[in-house]
Structure 1
Amino acid sequence: MRELDIASFEFARRRRGLVIVCVLLVATAGLTIAVFPSFGESDIDFAELLESYPEEFQAAFVGSVTDFSSLEGYLVVELYQLVWLLIVGSYFAYAAGSLVAGEVDRQSVELVLVRPVSRTRFVVGKFLAMLPAVAVVDLALLAAVVVGAGLIDEEIHLTRLLAVHAVGGLYLVACVAVGLLASAFFGRVRRAQGAAIGVVFGTFLLDSLTVDTDYEFLGALSLTRYLDPGELLVAGDVDWGGIAVLVAVTCVLVVLAAEVFERRDLS
Structure 2
Amino acid sequence: MFELTRYDARHRVRGSLYLSIGLSLLAAMVIWVYPSFKTEVDLDQLIAAYPEPIVQVMGVETMASLGGFLSFELYTFGWIILLGLYLAYSTAGTIADDVDRGRMDVLLSLPISRRRLLGERFAAMAVPIVGANVVPPIVVYVGAHLIDEPLAATDVLAVHLLSIPYLFACAGIGLLASVGFDRAGIAQRVALGVTFALFLSESLLTGTDADAVGAIAPMRYYDPNAILLEGTYNVADAGILVAMTVALVVAAQLWFTRVDIA
TM-score, shorter chain, exceeding 0.5 = yes
The number of residue pairs the alignment matches comes to: 262
Runs of at least 5 residues in structure 1 that lack an aligned partner in the other structure: none
2:148 counterpart residue number: 153
Normalised by the length of structure 1, the TM-score is 0.93
**Structure 1 residue corresponding to 2:104, chosen from 92, 106, 109:** 109
- CA deviation map 1:229-250 (0-9, x unaligned): 0001110112233222101100
Aligned: 1:36 with 2:31: no
1:23 paired residue number:
21
Distance across 1 between alignment mates of 2:213 and 2:54: 17
- The whole-number CA distance in structure 2 between the counterparts of 1:127 and 1:244 is 19
For residues 241 and 142 of structure 1, the distance between their equivalents in structure 2, rounded to whole angstroms, comes to: 22
The offset of 1:132, in angstroms, is 2.3
Residue 252 of structure 2 corresponds to residue 257 of structure 1: yes
CA contact (8 A) 2:17 2:131 kept: no
Which residue of structure 2 aligns with residue 195 of structure 1?
190
Give the letter aligned to residue 59 of structure 1: Q
Q: Is the 8 A contact 1:164 1:232 kept in 2?
A: yes
Equivalent in the alignment of 1:137? 132
Separation in 1 of the partners of 2:81 and 2:115? 29
In structure 1, the residue matched to 2:225 is 230
Moved more, 72-81 or 235-244: 235-244
Regions of 4+ moved over 3 Å: 52-55
TM-score by length of 2: 0.94
Mapped contact 2:13–2:127 kept (Cα < 8 A) = no
SS at match of 1:97: helix
Shift of 1:156: 0.9
Q: 1:124-143 CA distances to partner (integer Å, 9 max, x unpaired)?
A: 00111001221111112212
For the 8 Å contact 1:56–1:211, the answer to whether it is kept is: no
Unaligned runs of 5+ in 2: none
Instruction: Give me the whole-angstrom Cα distance separating, in 2, the residues matched to 1:23 and 1:83.
Output: 13
Please state if 1:121 is matched with 2:148: no
The Cα shift of 1:16 comes to: 2.8
Q: In 2, are the aligned partners of 1:29 and 1:145 still within 8 Å (CA)?
A: yes
Overall identity of the aligned pairs, in %:
36
Correspondence for 1:215:
210
Higher mean C-alpha deviation, range 138-147 or range 26-35: 138-147
Aligned to 2:46: 49
1:102-138 alpha-carbon deviations (Å, 9 max, x no partner): 1111211111111111100100001110012211111
Separation in structure 2 between the aligned mates of residue 45 and residue 62 of structure 1, nearest angstrom:
18
Instruction: Indicate if the aligned counterparts of 1:56 and 1:210 stay in contact, CA closer than 8 A.
Output: no
